[in-house]
Amino acid sequence: MKKTVLSLGLLLAASFVSADNIRPESSVEYRQSAFRLMEFQLNVLNPMHRSQAYSEEAFAYRADTLSRLGALAHEGFTEESRNIDSRALSRVWDSREDFDQRMQTFIEITANMAEASKAGNNRETRDLFRQTLQSCRSCHDQYRLD
């Protein structure tokens, strides 16, 4: 259910990000802003993961926020911003389908993590948290300048 809503959101979002709405330089700032906010959500989730506080409401709130910010980060990778200097490798645009799939997977894992946390499924939440970190790492390895 949640997954559907988010995918729809993303779909709608994608159709609105165009040169009319956002300059190439701005879309770099836009995705960087989203990633900065995402980093903080992870900084909150990390110690909760260490203390296994998976069913706290704050865990679900941060996981859900992470998922929604992921959708915003994704829409910042506009075609027009391809040649603007940033840490994003040109591979993002060369392997567009794979990149989009990875972003979508991140959005879904984190949305599912929020649901699992709300449902009190600690084991599932922990597994999804590990998948979240793995999702970040593998995408950075492929698509981000070190």
Contacting residues toward its own copies, per CB under 8 A: 8-9, 12-13, 15-16, 21-22, 26, 29-30, 32-34, 36-37, 40, 43-44, 57-58, 61, 65, 68, 72
CA dihedral of residues 64, 68, 69, 72 (deg, nearest 10):
180
What minimum distance in Å lies between the beta carbon of 95 and its own copies?
Answer: 26
Residue with smaller CB distance to its own copies, 24 or 95: 24
Residue with smaller CB distance to its own copies, 37 or 89: 37
What minimum distance in Å lies between the beta carbon of 11 and its own copies?
Answer: 9
Terminal Cα distance for the chain, rounded: 36
What minimum distance in Å lies between the beta carbon of 70 and its own copies?
Answer: 12
Measured distance CA(72)–CA(19) in Å, rounded? 16
Residue with smaller CB distance to its own copies, 49 or 68: 68
Measured distance CA(73)–CA(110) in Å, rounded? 14
Residue with smaller CB distance to its own copies, 12 or 119: 12
Q: Which helix (H) or strand (E) holds 84?
A: none
Measured distance CA(94)–CA(99) in Å, rounded? 9
Measured distance CA(141)–CA(37) in Å, rounded? 20
What minimum distance in Å lies between the beta carbon of 78 and its own copies?
Answer: 12
Residue with smaller CB distance to its own copies, 34 or 128: 34
Q: Which 8-state DSSP code applies to residue 44?
A: H
Tokens, residue 31: 């995705």
What minimum distance in Å lies between the beta carbon of 129 and its own copies?
Answer: 16
